[in-house]
Amino acid sequence: MLKLEHLGWSLPDGEEIIKDLDLTLSGGKLVVVTGPNGGGKTSLAKLVAGLETPTSGRIWFNGKDITGLDITERAKSGIAYAFQQPVRFKGLRVRDMLELAAGEKLTESALCGLLGKVGLCANEYIDRELNASLSGGEIKRIEIASVLARNAQLSIFDEPEAGIDLWSFARLVETFQELRQKSSGTLLVISHQERILSIADEIVVIAGGHVRGHGPREEILPTLLAGEKAGRCPLDKEEARV
């Protein structure tokens, strides 16, 4: 479904962030990408979504070379992305955002279902504007709901747990589990949280711009937990730069 070949990306000053990275992901799975801060996880997600352009290598999605496509064209091809820090839109209501994502008018029941999956009460939020009156956690949950509304073939969530309370986080974990069971699409989640790692089908460890580990949860997670107890990332042999 998603194949990255010799992918590279550098900052304008020439510093390499993603370095000759190869990765292949099949469809219909919950894949969690983890690793030390500054290792390249978010950069990789942005490259797949089309927010950044690789300096080398190719990106293939469902057998099509999408390296040259922008974020809009990739969205049309079936890729959805939830920002780590969501954008606010003055004058746009929550209802409007979800219907734009879904590509159709939504019933009150459908709106309630989407917002309920991220721990929000629809009656309190559907007609509110996406402006400064919403907290960071609220806007983050609404954006996650909009990605769910897309029902995309590949949904990318960049640290979805950031800025949300423990109750909403628990509901989010349940939602990921439900989607994994009911959807044929792939969920690609950037996260450090053990609870999210523990429900993954596959785990990818990114460090120093490279894939340091990739495999079934049963193989990768115990190694990560052992390294955490020892105070290190066992799959990372070089220090990641921030």
Burial of 2 (0-12, 13-18, 19+ CB in 10 A): buried
Q: What is the pLDDT of residue 23?
A: 98
Q: What is the pLDDT of residue 161?
A: 86
Cα–Cα distance list, 212 to 71, 91, 199, 206 (Å)? 27, 44, 20, 6
Q: What is the pLDDT of residue 231?
A: 60
Q: What is the pLDDT of residue 232?
A: 58
pTM above 0.95, yes or no: no
What is the block-wise mean pLDDT of the chain (242 residues), using blocks of 10 residues? 97 95 95 94 96 97 96 94 78 92 93 89 87 83 89 93 82 86 88 95 96 96 80 46 29
For 68-103, letters b (16+ CB in 10 Å) and e give: ebeeeebbebbbbbbbbebeeeeeebbbebbbebbe
Question: Can you say whether the dihedral through the CA atoms of 143, 145, 146, 148 is positive or negative?
Answer: positive
Q: What is the pLDDT of residue 222?
A: 94
Q: What is the pLDDT of residue 237?
A: 40
